[in-house]
């Protein structure tokens, strides 16, 4: 009982030391609960079955991510415990001097950890339960659930999961504390606070050389991921710029650790102004042991910024794309004339009967299954696409083929180009409400919206490359691709459709028939029922003889988009916030440790006549440098990282990048800035202590 009282007294006495520890634990617990309780809200129950499946998949992925998150938080808790134990070395030394056994000290730490854990769990779960109600509204809006049935719900499953995960973490911390106490020596505990790292001035010329080389390597890595990214054919190729970036980041910090003091010392007016010399010496006194950790923090911040920005951009762009790229209710596509390329279709799993009967349009094929698809449409159009082995990308690139192959060796250049009559495309374009085009008898146009392919095709178009199609020679009407598409999607997937005059086409080379329509009804339940009837046709035994049309509908595209964007958003937000918390907490704890070690130095500064305002200003600058240094390089990394991510995710569009960056910046300021302020005020209290 006495040890329990002593533990409670110690916690109360050291509450300012525990501020960041408490803040980190509470934040981690509440976030852990929120993201694991997403599927427990009543508002999410009244959704369509397809949406329910997406939610279930999302929760499965979040559960997997939670295991990874628990390892990160576990490491963070152990790291924080190390700081707190170091902070109390002298206290433990006095206990041993007074005759207390190491076993009893371990018990004190056990009770302290237990009390802190229980308190953190209670507060963290309380905040998490409140935040989960707000998050449920966000999810309900995203999945279009029935908000009228919203009620306050407590997720016992998520609560139990949170308690179990964090109990395991606390148990590990208790074991760690016991081991640490058993190994400690009295002399180290009593004199550890006086130990100080000797400032080792590195050779400035060596630092300059390494800094320049590191910047060159980093610049090369930036160039690869922003200009040569299409040459990265596999994971091994992609790892090269990543390794270059990590290694150069480490050596940039290593070289700066030897240059900053030298550079500022050469600026006499600034160096000897106020307490600048003291601040810089404080910063440099531990620089040798912070290079590696600063590198890790910088990289974690970089991943956080890129992750959050990319996820938000992807979500916003996909949602915005639905209206633009899925303007009709449905499009159905039927394979035609498959027997012209018999063997190639057999290779893809089609049977002989399906290949031989591939001469029906979408409408005719549905009728063979006793299903009148057009009876459900108030309006529709039918268009065809064509292809021939005599017109591939090899042919459309013309004289530039060899140069393009050198830059983009992985493209399938022998793929047959997709061809449309200009009249058919204009019928579809008019139905979609997008731009229509006109052609002369000797012209062609390429419509595309997949940015990487647009860039490649524009090289040939700008070079006015001619094509030969069914005995006709055609020249490009424009020197670049025009905007347009045929297949509906939530993403920019059109790699290129060649529009040609009607009289050029040979009908024997028709490969697809498309039927685009708008339903008579706008009721979501009725549309779902229609699409369910179509899906049930897959079970018809006639599919062994006839190949059913494939289809994309606005409803299915929207549901898939919402599901994917939700998974990306929540997983990205989950990981991003935890990485951000970890980075800021490690920095904060290191700075608190610095302040604890440097109390005597600040005391001497006071004796020399420095007032509290000047001392606080010096402390603020010292902490600001530590927080700003990894963040500054992380921001530079992020500029190129986001550029790379946008190229990878260009299929989703990057029109919503700026709002995503603003949201990311707000999250960064709130969490990273919050840790900075807590660190500053906690450090200020520490250096005010009387020795």
CA gap 302, 309 in Å, rounded: 11
Q: Which residues are registered as beta bridge partners of 381? A: 516
Better-scored residue on pLDDT, 247 or 158: 247
Mean pLDDT of 492-508: 92
pLDDT at 84 over 80: no
Mean pLDDT of 308-313: 84
Better-scored residue on pLDDT, 453 or 49: 453
User: Would you state the torsion angle of the CA atoms of residues 122, 127, 133, 138, taken in this order, to the nearest 10 degrees?
Assistant: -140
- List, for residues 111-143, the tens digit of each pLDDT value: 777 777 788 888 888 888 888 877 777 766 666
CA gap 641, 242 in Å, rounded: 10
CA gap 623, 595 in Å, rounded: 10
CA gap 228, 457 in Å, rounded: 17
Number of Cβ within a 10 Å radius of residue 625: 14
Exposure string (b/e) for 565-578, b if CB count within 10 Å is 16 or more? bbbbbbbbbbbbbb
Lookup result for tokens 């139990």: 160
| Domain range summary for the chain, segments of one domain joined by + | 1-195, 330-558
Mean pLDDT of 39-64: 64
How does residue 196 score in pLDDT terms, banded at 50, 70 and 90? very low
Q: Are 552 and 488 in contact (CB under 8 A)?
A: yes
pLDDT at 187 over 60: no
pLDDT at 288 over 70: no
Q: Are 321 and 492 in contact (CB under 8 A)?
A: yes
Lookup result for tokens 């991921």: 225
């Amino acid at each position: 009982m006495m040890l329990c009282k002593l533990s409670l007294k110690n916690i109360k006495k050291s509450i300012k030391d525990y501020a960041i520890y408490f803040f980190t634990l509470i934040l981690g617990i509440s976030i852990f609960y929120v993201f694991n309780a997403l599927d427990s809200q009543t508002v999410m129950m009244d959704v369509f079955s397809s949406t329910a499946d997406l939610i279930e998949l999302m929760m499965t992925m979040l559960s997997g991510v939670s295991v990874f998150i628990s390892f990160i938080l576990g490491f963070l808790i152990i790291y924080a415990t190390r700081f707190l134990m170091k902070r109390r070395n002298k206290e433990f030394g006095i206990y041993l001097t007074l005759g207390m056994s190491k076993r009893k000290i371990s018990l004190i730490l056990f009770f302290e950890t237990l009390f802190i854990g229980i308190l953190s769990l209670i507060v963290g779960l309380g905040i998490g339960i409140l935040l989960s109600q707000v998050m449920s509204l966000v999810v309900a809006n995203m999945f279009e659930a029935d908000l009228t049935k919203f009620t306050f719900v407590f997720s016992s499953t998520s609560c139990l999961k949170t308690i179990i995960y964090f109990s395991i973490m606390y148990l590990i911390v208790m074991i760690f504390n016991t081991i640490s106490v058993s190994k400690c020596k009295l002399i180290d505990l009593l004199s550890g606070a006086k130990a100080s790292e000797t400032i080792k001035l590195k050779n400035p010329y060596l630092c300059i050389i390494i800094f320049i080389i590191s910047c060159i390597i980093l610049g090369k890595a930036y160039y690869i991921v922003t200009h040569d990214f299409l040459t990265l054919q596999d994971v091994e190729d992609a790892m090269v710029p990543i390794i270059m970036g990590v290694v150069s980041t480490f050596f940039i910090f290593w070289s700066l650790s030897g240059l900053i003091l030298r550079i500022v010392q050469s600026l006499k007016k600034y160096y000897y102004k106020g307490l600048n010399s003291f601040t810089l010496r404080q910063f440099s006194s531990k620089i040798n042991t912070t290079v590696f950790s600063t590198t890790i923090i910088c990289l974690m911040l970089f991943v956080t910024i890129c992750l959050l920005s990319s996820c938000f951009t992807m979500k916003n762009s996909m949602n915005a794309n639905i209206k633009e790229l899925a303007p009709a209710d449905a499009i159905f596509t039927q394979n035609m004339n498959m027997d012209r390329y018999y063997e190639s279709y057999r290779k893809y799993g089609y049977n002989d009967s399906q290949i031989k009967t591939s001469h029906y349009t979408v409408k005719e094929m549905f009728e063979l299954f006793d299903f009148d698809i057009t009876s459900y449409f108030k309006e529709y159009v039918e268009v065809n696409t064509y292809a021939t082995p005599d017109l591939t990308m090899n042919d459309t690139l013309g004289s530039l083929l060899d140069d393009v192959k050198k830059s983009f060796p992985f493209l399938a250049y022998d793929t047959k180009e997709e061809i449309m009559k200009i009249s058919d495309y204009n019928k579809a374009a008019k139905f979609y409400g997008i731009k229509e085009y006109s052609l002369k008898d000797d012209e062609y146009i390429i419509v595309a919206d997949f940015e990487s392919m647009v860039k490649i095709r524009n090289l040939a178009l700008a070079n006015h490359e001619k094509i030969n199609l069914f005995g006709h020679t055609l020249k490009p009407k424009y020197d670049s691709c025009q905007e347009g598409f045929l297949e509906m999607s939530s993403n920019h997937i059109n790699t290129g459709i060649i529009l040609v005059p009607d009289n050029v086409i040979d009908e024997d080379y028709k490969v697809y028939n498309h039927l685009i329509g708008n339903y008579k009804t706008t009721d979501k339940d009725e549309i779902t029922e229609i699409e369910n009837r179509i899906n049930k046709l897959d079970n018809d035994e006639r599919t062994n003889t006839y190949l059913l049309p494939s289809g994309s509908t606005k409803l299915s595209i929207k549901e898939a988009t919402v599901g994917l964007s939700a998974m990306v958003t929540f997983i990205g937000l989950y990981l991003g916030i935890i990485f951000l918390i970890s980075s800021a907490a490690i920095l904060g704890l290191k700075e608190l440790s610095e302040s604890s070690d440097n109390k005597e130095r600040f005391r001497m500064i006071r004796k020399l006549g420095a007032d509290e305002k000047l001392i606080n200003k010096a402390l603020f600058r010292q902490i600001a440098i530590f927080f700003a240094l990894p963040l500054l390089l992380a921001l530079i990394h992020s500029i190129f990282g986001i550029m790379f991510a946008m190229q990878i995710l260009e299929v989703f569009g990057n029109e919503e990048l700026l709002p995503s960056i603003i949201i990311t910046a707000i999250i960064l300021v709130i969490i990273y800035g919050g840790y900075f302020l807590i660190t500053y005020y906690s450090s200020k209290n520490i250096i005010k202590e009387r020795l």
